[in-house]
Chain A
Amino acid sequence: MTAEFPPGLLLIVGALLVPFIKGNLRSVYMLALPLLGIWQLTALEPGVFGVMSIFGFELTHVRIDKLSLLFGYIFYIAATLSVLFAWHSDDLVEQASALVYVGAAIGATFAGDLITLFIYWELVAIASVFLIWAGRTNRAYRAGFRYLIIQISSGVLLAAGAVLRASETGSVAFDKIGLDSPGGTLILLAFGIKCAFPLLHNWLQDAYPEASVTGTVFLSAFTTKLAVYALARGYAGTDMLIWIGATMTALPIFYAVIENDLRRVLAYSLNNQLGFMVAGIGIGTTLAINGAVSHAFAHILYKALLFMSMGAVLYRTGTAKGSELGGLYKTMPWTTGFCIVGSASISAFPLFSGFVTKSMILTAAAEEGYLIPFLVLLFASAGVFHHSGIKIPFFAFFAHDSGKRPREAPINMLLAMGLTAFLCIAIGVYPQPLYALLPFPVDYTPYTTTHVVTTLQLLLFSALAFATLQRTGLYPPELRSTVLDFDFSYRWLAPRVVNWLMDAGGRAWITMTSGLLPMLRGLIALAFKYCGPEGVLARSSQAGSMAMWVLVLLATYLVLYFV
C-alpha cells in the first residue's frame, strides 16, 4: 500500500464498515486501522502524490515530508491509544465519528494545497462535534452547537483566504504563506481559531469538558495540533506569533487555578501548552521549530494521558469536579500513578517527555533575544506545574477525603494509560528517536547540569509555594462555580444585546401603532369626509341643478347691472 491510497482516507473509508461489525470485533477492527496506518507511513517515501488539475489549479492530495510525517505518526499513535482507552464503548456514533475525525485530521496533515486542506479541515470540524454530542447531556448538546459554529467559521475563513491567495498568486499550494497579503491574514485567522489564540480560544474550554469520557481523549489530540502543524507549515518565523504564543501560555493558567471542573482545567492547560508551540513557531529558527513540533508530539501523549486519567475518574465516580473529589488514590492507585506521570511530563520534569521538547523553545527564545517572551514562558512553565502538575492529581486523588471509594479503572483504560505513560517516560529518558523524526537536524542536548538543576529549582520551588499556600489556607478552595471567560461575550452579552434590540424594536412598533396610527386614521377620515364619494368637494351633481345655479348667477348679475 503506497500513498496512492491517501493516509487519512484509510480511516474515513474504514469508518463506513464500523456499523456492520459487532461487539469486541469492532474494537479489534478499530484498533487495526490506525496500526495499519502507521505501517503505511513507514513505507512512504518523501514526495507528492495524487496531483490533479482542477479549474487550472494544481491540487496535491498527499505531500510526504518530515514535517507531515511527524504529525502523521503521532496522530496515528494517539488514535491507537484512544481507541484502546475506548475499547469498552459501544456507542456507534462516537466510534464512527472518531475514526472519520482522526482520518480527516491526518488527511489535512498530508494535504499539499489549500483546497484539499479546506475539505479535510471542515470534515474535522463536522466529525468532531459528534464526539461532543456523545456526552448526551443538554449542556453537551448546546456546547456542541457553539463549537460547530466556531469551527465552521474557521473553515469559511480558510476558504476565503485560499480564494484570495489564488487570485493574488495564481496558486493554491500550501507552503509558507506569511502575512504580506490579505489572503494570508485570513488564513492565519482560520488557523488561529483552531489553535485557540487568545479571544478565539473559548470553544476549547467550553466544549471539550462536555464531551463523553472517551470523546475528550480523542478531541484533545487532533484539532489543535492540526492547527499547530498548519502554523508551522505556513507561518514559521512570523514575529507576531511569539507574542500571541506568550499571551496564550500566561492567560489560561489564571483560569486553571480557579476552575473547578478538572477536565476544564486540563482544557486551560492544553491552551497554555499550545502557547509554547505557537511561540516556538513565531521564533522560527530551526531549534525553535524543532522544539515546537516535538513539543506537539510529546504534548499529544501527556495531554491524552491526563484526559484519560480524568476520564477514568469521571467514568467511575460520575464527576470530574475538584469540589466533589479527593482521596481516590486509595482505590484507584494505578490511575493515580499514571496521572502523576502525565503531570510530570506536562510540567517538564527531567526524565519526562516535556523536558526534552519544551526546553528547545525556551532556549531558542533566550538565544534570539526575546527577553520578555522568555520570562513569560518561564513564568508559564512554573504555572503549568502548579495547576496541571499539582492541582489535577492533588484535588482528584489526594486533598480532603471525599468518601468516594470507586473501583479501579477498567483494564482497557489502564492498559491505554500505561502505554501512554510508558511513551511519556521513554521520550524523556531517550529522546533520540523523536529527535531523529524532527524536520531539521538536531544539535541540542537537553540533559546538561545547568538545565536539569535550574528546571528542578523552578519546579520544586513552585511546589513549595503550592504547599505553603495550602498549609496557610491561602489557596483558593475548589468551589462549585462557573468562571466567566471570553465566552461571556457570546453566551451572555450577545443574547442580551439582541434581546434588547428586539425589545426596543417592539416598543418602537407599539408606539407607532398606538400613537401614530390613530392620527393617520383621523387624517384619512378627514380627507374621506370632504373628498370621498359623499364629500362636499367631490359630490356629483345633476346637470339641471347646474343650469339652475347658472340661471341664478346670471339673474343676480342682471339685477346688479340695473341697480
Chain B
Amino acid sequence: MTEAPVNDRAPEKDGGKRFWLDDRRNVHKLFWALVVVCSFLFLSDAFYEKHVIYAFENWFGFFGLFGFFLSFALVLTARELRKILMRDEDYYDR
C-alpha cells in the first residue's frame, strides 16, 4: 500500500460526499467481519460429515488452512519473483 492517507482527496472530489468505505474504521470492521466468518467456517468442520476421497481432506480445517497458507506462499513467492522478472514498462520498446 502507498504511504499516502487513504482516500484523502475523496470528499472535495465528490462534492463533500463521503462514502462508507472512505472511513478507515469501516475497512477495519470489514476485515474483522471476515475473520469472524472464517472462524465459523473453520469450526463448522465439527458439525457435518465430510464426504471426501483422500484421507487428508478429512483433517480438521484442511481446506481453510490449505487456502490460507498456500495463498500466502503464492503472494510471497510472486513478490520474490519480481526481483528477477520485473523490468521497466518500456523494456521491449527501447
Residues of B within 8 A of A253 (CB): 74
Interface residues of A, count at CB 8 A:
61
- Name which residue of chain B comes closest to A371, CB basis: B54
Does A400 count as interface, using CB distance less than 8 angstroms? yes
Does A239 count as interface, using CB distance less than 8 angstroms? no
- Name which residue of chain A comes closest to B65, CB basis: A461
Give the distance to chain B from A371, nearest Cβ to Cβ, in Å. 7
Q: Are A457 and B67 in contact (CB under 8 A)?
A: yes
Q: Are B72 and A469 in contact (CB under 8 A)?
A: yes
| Contacts A257-B78, A366-B54, A476-B79 given; does A383 touch B71 at CB 8 Å | yes
Does A454 count as interface, using CB distance less than 8 angstroms? yes
CA distance A327 to B75 in the complex (A): 23
Q: Which of A492-540 contact B (CB under 8 A)?
A: 492
- What are the interface flags for A470-481 relative to B under an 8 Å C-beta threshold, 1 for contact and 0 otherwise? 110111110111
Residues of B within 8 A of A449 (CB): 48
Residues of A within 8 A of B4 (CB): 400
CA distance A363 to B53 in the complex (A): 9
Q: Are A481 and B71 in contact (CB under 8 A)?
A: no
- Name which residue of chain B comes closest to A463, CB basis: B34
Does A386 count as interface, using CB distance less than 8 angstroms? yes
Does A456 count as interface, using CB distance less than 8 angstroms? yes
Q: Are B93 and A139 in contact (CB under 8 A)?
A: yes
Does A453 count as interface, using CB distance less than 8 angstroms? yes
Q: Are A378 and B85 in contact (CB under 8 A)?
A: no
Q: Are B6 and A401 in contact (CB under 8 A)?
A: yes
| Contacts A454-B63, A482-B89 given; does A367 touch B74 at CB 8 Å | no
- Name which residue of chain B comes closest to A492, CB basis: B92
| Contacts A258-B85, A470-B1 given; does A450 touch B52 at CB 8 Å | yes
CA distance A465 to B31 in the complex (A): 11
| Contacts A454-B63, A476-B78 given; does A462 touch B91 at CB 8 Å | no
Interface residues of B, dominant DSSP: helix
| Contacts A254-B74, A257-B78, A401-B6 given; does A481 touch B21 at CB 8 Å | no
Number of A-B contacts (CB under 8 A): 169
Give the distance to chain B from A257, nearest Cβ to Cβ, in Å. 4
Does B26 count as interface, using CB distance less than 8 angstroms? no
CA distance A465 to B74 in the complex (A): 10
CA distance A534 to B87 in the complex (A): 70
Residues of A within 8 A of B88 (CB): 481-482
Q: Which of B48-75 contact A (CB under 8 A)?
A: 48-54, 57, 61, 63-72, 74-75
Residues of B within 8 A of A401 (CB): 6-10
* Chain A residues within CB distance 8 Å of chain B: 139, 253-255, 257-258, 327, 329-330, 363, 366-367, 371, 374, 378-379, 382-383, 385-386, 398, 400-401, 403, 405, 448-450, 453-471, 473-477, 479-485, 491-492
* Chain B residues within CB distance 8 Å of chain A: 1-2, 4, 6-10, 13-14, 19, 21, 31, 34-35, 37-38, 41-42, 44-45, 48-54, 57, 61, 63-72, 74-79, 81-82, 84-93
Residues of A within 8 A of B87 (CB): 481-484
Q: Are A405 and B48 in contact (CB under 8 A)?
A: no
Give the distance to chain B from A185, nearest Cβ to Cβ, in Å. 31
A398 interface neighbour in B21, B82, B91, B92, Cβ under 8 Å: B21
Residues of A within 8 A of B71 (CB): 382-383, 385-386, 461-462, 465-466
Q: Are B50 and A469 in contact (CB under 8 A)?
A: no
CA distance A481 to B91 in the complex (A): 8
- Extra contacts, 20 of them, besides A382-B71, A385-B71, A456-B41 (Cβ < 8 A), are A254-B77, A258-B86, A327-B10, A366-B52, A379-B66, A400-B2, A450-B50, A454-B52, A455-B63, A461-B42, A469-B72, A480-B89, A481-B87, A482-B90, A482-B92, A483-B87, A484-B84, A484-B85, A484-B91, A485-B85
23 of the cross-chain contacts (CB-CB < 8 Å) are A255-B78, A258-B81, A327-B10, A366-B52, A401-B7, A453-B41, A453-B45, A460-B41, A461-B42, A461-B66, A461-B68, A462-B71, A463-B34, A464-B35, A464-B68, A468-B72, A473-B1, A474-B75, A482-B89, A482-B92, A483-B87, A484-B87, A491-B92
Q: Are B74 and A383 in contact (CB under 8 A)?
A: yes
Q: Are A258 and B66 in contact (CB under 8 A)?
A: no
Residues of B within 8 A of A367 (CB): 53
Residues of A within 8 A of B84 (CB): 484
Give the distance to chain A from B3, nearest Cβ to Cβ, in Å. 10
Residues of A within 8 A of B21 (CB): 329, 398
- Name which residue of chain A comes closest to B91, CB basis: A482
Q: Are B37 and A460 in contact (CB under 8 A)?
A: yes
Give the distance to chain A from B67, nearest Cβ to Cβ, in Å. 4
Q: Are A474 and B76 in contact (CB under 8 A)?
A: yes
CA distance A479 to B85 in the complex (A): 13
CA distance A421 to B61 in the complex (A): 32
